[in-house]
């Protein structure tokens, strides 16, 4: 069996028409060569057992049912070796990282652990004694790091998503080089319990995926404090929502010309993204980024390098087998830092953070090229430190300044992928997702190095024919929720995962088990809500509608693209005293945030 399209929506449709998780796992395992530096460990038997254990009855309940994923090998998985790409550090994990536990509990299937720059120190993806993951779009160029294997696994279509980590750009740079999405959430949103630290105060678990929608679906499962991570953000669950809605007049900061250092191909990708945003009505503000660059310099020449020494300095000093000499030199550099240096660095960083807060009062997002350029392996061999350092120009400052970021593809130039990154203040993740999803769809709908395109209504399933009637669902009938079997058992087919036009509001209705929402059309203050479009055989549609209880009913729903279809609406009389959930952008997001009783 050839590799199927592993986008979540495509998988959901395929599972509904007879594909099994076991068949998906076998197809993936068959596609991974025996000697593949992308993976440090392929968990074949574990994946087979997990796939066989999935209960089809849970397909509508578990949001990641049958979705294959990979984990960067500085993240623990119970019973498996964690190497952090250093043989002398290798140890068997007694327990899984919190993020892995959550993903597997949601039905995701672990395929393997991926290669990385040793101890997550590097942005090139080549600093590993286990070999260099081959960039499938440019074999003579670096794959990006430190989360090299995770990005390459997604780009090759071997997994739906993969976990990386991001301290200075490791969850974004590889995405830019492999034509995929790299979601770097707000710091502390995903617990780092069970993650080998690089700079513990800055580290983030990141998500690589083929689409923004898939990445945010993973975030919805993974986010939220676990009680064990002292760096976790107690308000982190608030960002774990599906793709949100961008404001009608987005305010976008862009680097001043003096700070826009990028190779022609990457400059062209940036300009294409800017033009796309302008076509949607965005307003632009030129900003000088030099203070941000000054702050970023402290990561590798200032006190924060000492935090890397605090994390794994004893291992480096012990001279364990397999140490990368460049990584060793970088980490031991922290030994010369003093407490005075640390405080001076904190004071300087506080000054820059104040400037950043002032920026966010003027704009919604910052748009930058993900990297200035894409070095070849030969470039890196000639200048191993300089070539690596240059890649962090637009990434290094983000975690230091407590920002969220999302890297998305921006097309191809000279047959190589280019990309842009959207940056926002802490907890701006839903806004970045909304803007990023639209940019990705318009600029580069191809996923990684595969032939798959971003899922659209035409590619998720068959289009509605005269003997079938579409229905827009917004609540308990969504895929994976309790009433979805009413659709599937009646021959329903998923047509689209999309949004309404921004003319509706959503409320929690009282008296329903399972809980259900009511969507109403409004004349002002409307929002776009996450919905799914299904269709039913004509003879089944009438029976389905007859079973809908008041105050719910079927009316005409306008979707984001201006098209209309029959769908669930609610009588306004039922909304007295009902909780307004509109700010969550959809029923699934409200459930993930604990807003549904």
Q: Is the dihedral of CA 499, 501, 507, 512 positive or negative?
A: negative
Please tell me which residue in 128, 146, 206, 479 is annotated as part of the active site.
Answer: 146
DSSP letters for 186-251 = STTSS--TTB--SSTTT-EEEEEESSHHHHHHHHHHH-S--SS-TT--TTGGGG--SS----TT-E
Helix axes 212-222, 8-16, angle to 10 degrees: 90
**Measured distance CA(534)–CA(282) in Å, rounded:** 33
Catalytic residue among 128, 147, 150, 170: 170
Residues 6+ apart with CB under 8 A from 172: 166, 182, 184, 206, 370, 395, 405, 407, 421
Block residue for tokens 């609540």 = 475
Q: Would you call 113 a catalytic residue per the annotation?
A: no
Residue 524's alpha-carbon distances to 273, 518, 521, 527, in angstroms, are: 30, 17, 9, 9
List all residues 6 or more positions away from 34 whose beta carbon is below 8 Å from its beta carbon. Answer: none
Q: What is the CA radius of gyration of the chain?
A: 24
Cβ contacts of 343 within 8 Å, gap of 6 or more: none
The four Cα atoms 69, 75, 77, 83 give a dihedral, to 10 degrees, of 110
Dist CA 159 CA 39 (whole Å): 12
Annotated catalytic residue within 72, 96, 150, 479? 72
For residue 448, CA distances in Å to 26, 126, 220, 225, 405 come to 21, 20, 23, 32, 19
CB under 8 Å to 314, separation ≥6 — which residues?
none
| 379 vs 385: CA distance, rounded Å | 11
DSSP 179: T
Is 237 an active-site residue?
Answer: no
DSSP string, 405-464: EEEEEEEEETTEEEEEEEEEETT-HHHHHHHHHHHHHHH--B-TTSS-B---HHHHSPPP
Paired with 527 in beta bridges are 504
Q: How far apart are CA 181 and CA 178, in angstroms?
A: 9
Helix (H) or strand (E) holding 470: strand 468-473
Tell me if residue 72 is catalytic: yes
Residue 183 pairs with which residues in a beta bridge? Answer: 207, 406
Residues noted as catalytic: 72, 146, 170
């Amino acid at each position: 069996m050839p590799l199927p399209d592993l986008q979540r929506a495509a998988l959901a449709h395929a599972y509904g028409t007879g594909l099994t998780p076991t068949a998906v796992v076998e197809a993936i395992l068959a596609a991974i060569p025996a000697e593949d530096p992308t993976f440090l460990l392929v968990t074949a038997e574990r994946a087979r057992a997990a796939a066989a254990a999935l209960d089809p009855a849970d397909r509508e309940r578990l949001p990641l049912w049958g979705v294959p994923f990979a984990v960067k090998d500085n993240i623990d998985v119970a019973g498996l070796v964690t190497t952090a790409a250093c043989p002398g550090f290798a140890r068997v994990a007694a327990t899984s990282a919190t993020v892995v536990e959550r993903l597997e509990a949601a039905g995701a299937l672990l395929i393997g652990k991926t290669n990385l720059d040793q101890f997550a120190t590097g942005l090139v993806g080549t600093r590993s004694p286990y070999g260099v993951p081959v960039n499938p779009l440019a074999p003579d160029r670096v794959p990006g790091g430190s989360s090299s294997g995770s990005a390459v696994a997604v780009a090759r279509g071997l997994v739906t998503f993969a976990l990386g980590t991001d301290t200075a750009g490791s969850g974004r740079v590889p995405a830019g080089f492999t034509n995929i999405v790299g979601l770097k959430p707000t710091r502390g949103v995903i617990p780092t319990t069970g993650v080998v630290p690089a700079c513990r105060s800055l580290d983030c678990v990141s998500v690589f995926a083929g689409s923004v929608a898939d990445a945010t679906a993973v975030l919805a499962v993974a986010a939220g404090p676990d009680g064990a991570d002292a760096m976790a953000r107690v308000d982190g669950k608030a960002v774990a929502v599906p793709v949100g809605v961008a404001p009608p007049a987005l305010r976008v900061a862009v680097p001043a010309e003096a700070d826009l250092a990028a190779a022609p191909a990457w400059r062209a990708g940036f300009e294409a993204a800017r033009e796309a945003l302008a076509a949607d009505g965005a307003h632009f503000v030129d900003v000088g980024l030099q203070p941000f660059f000054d702050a970023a310099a402290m990561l590798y020449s200032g006190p924060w390098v000492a935090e890397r020494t605090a994390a794994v300095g004893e291992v480096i000093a012990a001279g364990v087998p397999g140490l990368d000499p460049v990584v060793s030199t970088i980490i031991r550099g922290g030994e010369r830092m003093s407490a005075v240096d640390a405080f001076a660095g904190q004071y300087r960083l506080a000054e820059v953070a104040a400037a950043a807060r002032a920026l966010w009062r003027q704009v919604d997002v910052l748009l930058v090229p993900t990297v200035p350029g894409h070095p070849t392996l030969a470039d890196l061999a000639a200048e191993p430190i300089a070539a690596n350092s240059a890649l962090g120009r637009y990434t290094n400052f983000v975690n230091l300044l407590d920002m969220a970021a999302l890297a998305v593809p921006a097309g191809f130039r000279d047959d190589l992928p280019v990309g842009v990154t959207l940056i926002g203040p802490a907890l701006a993740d839903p806004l970045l997702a909304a803007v990023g999803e639209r940019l990705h769809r318009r600029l580069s709908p191809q996923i990684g190095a595969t032939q798959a395109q971003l899922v659209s209504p035409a590619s998720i399933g068959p289009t509605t024919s005269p003997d079938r009637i579409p229905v827009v669902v917004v609540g308990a009938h969504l895929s994976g929720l309790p009433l979805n079997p009413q659709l599937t058992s009646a021959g329903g087919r998923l047509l689209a995962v999309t949004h309404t036009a921004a003319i509706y509001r959503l409320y929690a209705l009282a008296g329903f088990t399972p809980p259900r929402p009511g969507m109403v059309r409004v004349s002002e203050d409307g929002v776009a809500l996450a919905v799914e479009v299904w269709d039913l055989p004509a003879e089944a549609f009438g029976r389905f509608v007859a079973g809908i209880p008041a105050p719910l009913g079927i009316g005409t729903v306008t979707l984001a693209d201006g098209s209309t279809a029959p769908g669930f609406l609610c009588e306004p009389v039922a909304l007295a005293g009902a909780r307004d959930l509109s700010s969550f952008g959809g029923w699934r997001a409200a459930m993930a945030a604990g807003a549904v009783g």
